[in-house]
Structure 1
Amino acid sequence: MTIELEEPPLASNAQVIKDLVGGTMGGIAQVLVGQPFDTVKVRLQSAPEGTYNGAVDVIKKLLKDEGPKGFYKGTLTPLIGVGACVSVQFSVNEYMKRYYDDKLNGAPLSLTQFFTCGAIAGFANGFLASPIEHIRIRLQTQTGSVKQFHGPIDCGKKLVAANGLYKGLLPTLVRESVGLGIYFATYEALIARELKGTTLARNDIPGWKLCAFGGLSGYTLWIGIYPIDVIKSKLQTDSLKSPTYKGSLSVFRDVWAKKGIKSFYRGFIPTILRAAPANGATFAVFELTMRLLN
C-alpha cells in the first residue's frame, strides 16, 4: 500500500532545527495534557497487588493523601525530557521521510516505509527516553513523608551511583521501535485518507482534525505495546538495593503467574483515556508549529 503525501526536500540544517523545535513544542503539550493520566497509570502498574482497586481508587487516594499537585509529581523531568524525546522522535521521523522521498525520486511512500521511519525514530529515542522515564517513574511512585529522592537531579545521581540509570532499556527500545512505527504510520494513513480525492494540501487540514488523527494514532500505539510498557515500569520501580527481578523475562514470568494476560493490562484505562488528548495535542501543536516556522 502506497500513500501519496507532499514531502519536503531532503533536510537542510535549518529544516532539522525546525523539526526539533516543532517536536519540542509537541512534547511540552503532551506532558501538560497527559501527566495526570500517566501518574495514575504508573501507580497502577507498579504498586503491589491489592494496593488499589482500579484507576478511580488511585485518584481518590492521591487526592486525599497528596492533593491535586500529586498528579503532577515528577513533572519537571518529563517537561524537559519529554520535550527532548518528542523532538528526537519527530525530527528523526521527518528526516527518514525525506530520505525515502529522495531515494524514491518523489514516488509516494508505502505504509511499510512510514512504519520504518517511525521505528527508526523510536529506536533512536529509546536511549534518551529510558533514563528520563526511569527518573520520572521513581519520583511519581514516591509516597509518604520520608523520601528517597529529593527531586530529579538527586534521583539521577542516586540511580547512576547504583548503576541503575538505564534499567529497563531493552523493553524501552522494543516499545519505542514498535510503538512509534505503528504511531506514525497510523497518522500518515489518516492524513492521506483525508487528502485523497481532494485538491487540499496538508497545511489546509484544520487543527481539530490533526488533533483527532493524533488521538487515534495514540490509541493504536498503546493498544499495540502496552504489555511491554508494564514490563518496563516493573523494572524501573524495582528495588535498587535488593531487586526482585533479574530482567525483562523475570518480570514477564512473575506478572503472568499472578493473573495471566490480565496482569499486563493494569493501568490500561487511564492510559487509553490519556492517549487521545495527549497525542492529539502533540500532533496538532507539532503541525501548527511547523506551519509557522515554514
Structure 2
Amino acid sequence: MSQTVKDLAAGTTGGIAQVLVGQPFDIVKVRMQTSAKGTYRGMLDCAGGILKNEGPLAFYKGTLTPLLGIGACVSIQFGVLEYTKRYFAARNLRAGQDAAHSSLLSSSQLLVAGALAGLGNGFVSGPVEHIRIRLQTQSNTNPIYRGPFDAIKKISSQYGIRGIYKGQNVTFLREATGYGVYFWAYEKLVQREMALKGIRREQISPGSAILYGAAAGYALWAVIYPIDMVKSRMQTDGFSPSDGQKYRSTLHCVRTVWKAEGISAFTRGLGPTLIRSPFANGATFLGFEMANRFLSSI
C-alpha cells in the first residue's frame, strides 16, 4: 500500500470520528448562525428547542451527507498535507539538513502545507456543507428536501453546478486560512513533545494526540469563526431574487449583516462551537494517528 493511500485511509477514519462526535454541536451552531437576532436566548435555549420540537434524532439531521462527505474531506486534507510535508522534507534534505531534522518543517512550510490541504478539501467541503446546512435548517413540518440526494437533485436541476457550489468563494477563504493555522498548531505541538522527550512521532501517546487536536481546533475557530458565519448565511440564502435571495455577494452579506445586526452576529453560535471543538478535533487527530500507525505496520 502506497503512503498516499495510507494517508487517505487514515484521514477518512479521522473524518468519520469527527462527524460522529461533532454533529449534534454543529446543528446548534448552524441554527444560531442562520437565525434572526433574538430567536434564541442562547446555546441551551436553541438545543432545548430542537430537542422539544424535533426530538433527539434531530441532532443528527443531515448526518449522511457529512458522514460521506466529511470523511472524504478529511481524507483529502490529510492526503494533501502529508504529501506536501514530504515534499518540504525532501527539499530540506537537498538543502543540506540532516535526515533526522529535515522532516521537522518550519512554521512557514507548515502554514503553506495546511493552506494547500484546506484548498484541496474545499472543493468537496463546500457542496457537502451546503447540502448539510440546507437539511439542518429546513422545517420538519414542510421539508423541501427528503434527504441529501433529493437536495442535490433538486438544486442541480434548477440552478446547475453553481447552485451546488453556492458560497464557494468564502469557503475557500475559510479553508485556506483556517487549515493553515490548524495544522501548524498541531504539528508544532507534536514537534515540541518530540524534542522535549526525545521520542519519535509514533511514540506520542493517544492522549497527547487528543489534547493537541483540541488545541488545534481552538486555533482554527479563533481565526475563522466570522468567516464561517458568513459562509452559513450565504449557503442558506435564496438562489435568486425571485426565491428570497438577500445577499448579492460575500461582501454584500458582510455589510448587510453588520448594518442590521451588528458585530455580535459574527460570533453568534460560538458557544456550541467551542464546546464541540475539542471533542471533534481531538477525535479527528486520534483517528488519523491511530489508523496511520496501524496501516504503517501492515
TM bucket, shorter chain: over 0.9
**Equivalence for 1:226:** 225
- Give, in angstroms, the shift of residue 197 of structure 1: 3.4
- Partners in 1 of 2:75 and 2:273 — Cα distance? 22
- Give, in angstroms, the shift of residue 49 of structure 1: 2.1
Equivalent positions of 1:125-204 (< 5 A) are 125-163=121-159, 164-204=163-203
Deviations 1:105-133 (A, max 9, x none): 14331011001000001011111110000
RMSD of aligned Cα (Å)? 1.1
Q: Out of 264, 289, 292, which is 1:290 matched to?
A: 292
**Equivalence for 1:270:** 272
**Equivalence for 1:83:** 71
Amino acid at match of 1:265: T
- Give, in angstroms, the shift of residue 247 of structure 1: 1.1
- Give, in angstroms, the shift of residue 219 of structure 1: 0.2
Q: Does 1:243 align with 2:238?
A: no
- Partners in 2 of 1:230 and 1:175 — Cα distance? 10
Amino acid at match of 1:94: E
Amino acid at match of 1:140: Q
**Equivalence for 1:211:** 210
Amino acid at match of 1:247: S
- Give, in angstroms, the shift of residue 199 of structure 1: 2.4
Amino acid at match of 2:254: F
Report the structure, 1 or 2, having the larger helix content. Answer: 2
TM-score (norm 2): 0.92
- Give, in angstroms, the shift of residue 156 of structure 1: 0.7
- Give, in angstroms, the shift of residue 161 of structure 1: 2.4
Deviations 1:54-73 (A, max 9, x none): 11111111011111101000
Amino acid at match of 1:229: D
- Partners in 1 of 2:261 and 2:47 — Cα distance? 23
**Equivalence for 1:10:** none
Deviations 1:166-223 (A, max 9, x none): 1100110000001000000000110011111332111111101100000000000001
Query: Structure 1: any 5+ residue segments left out of the alignment?
Result: 1-12
TM-score (norm 1): 0.94
Amino acid at match of 1:261: I
- Partners in 1 of 2:145 and 2:137 — Cα distance? 11
Q: Does 1:70 align with 2:58?
A: yes
**Equivalence for 2:96:** none
Amino acid at match of 2:181: I
- Partners in 1 of 2:260 and 2:91 — Cα distance? 50
Aligned residues with identical type, % of pairs: 49
- Partners in 2 of 1:151 and 1:92 — Cα distance? 30
Amino acid at match of 1:115: L
- Partners in 1 of 2:153 and 2:244 — Cα distance? 18
- Larger mean CA deviation between 208-217 and 256-265 belongs to 256-265
Q: For residue 109 of structure 1, give the secondary structure of its aligned residue in structure 2.
A: coil
